């Protein structure tokens, strides 16, 4: 059975370029833990920014709440 992957999409507030990652449950937990924010570093202008998890990945956000 294929493991479910979540699409996490973020947008840099400075240059507007978007970053998309596809992570499975384990990878999301490892990288972001249970925090409601996603911390990203822009590939273009290398600034760090945070995005709400519910905006970056509504699907994961929903699942998180269901498991609580």
At 47, give phi and psi (nearest 5°): -90, 155
Class of residue 35 by CB neighbours under 10 A (exposed 0-12, middle 13-18, buried 19+): exposed
Looking at residue 51, the DSSP 8-state letter turns out to be E
Site string for Zn ion, 4-43 (x = CB under 5 A): --------x-xx--------------------------x-
Beta bridge partners of 45: none
Residues that contact Zn ion, how many (by CB under 5 A) = 6
Based on CB atoms, which residue is closest to Zn ion, 5 or 49?
49
Closest approach, Cβ 67 to Zn ion, in A, equals 32
Binding positions for Zn ion, rule: CB under 5 A: 12, 14-15, 42, 44-45
């Amino acid at each position: 059975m294929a493991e479910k992957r979540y699409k996490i999409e973020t947008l840099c507030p400075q240059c507007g370029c978007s970053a998309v990652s596809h992570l499975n449950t384990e990878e999301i937990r490892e990288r972001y833990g249970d925090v409601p924010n996603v911390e990203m570093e822009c590939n273009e202008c290398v600034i760090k920014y945070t995005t709400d998890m519910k905006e970056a990945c509504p699907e994961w956000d929903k699942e998180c709440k269901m498991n609580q």
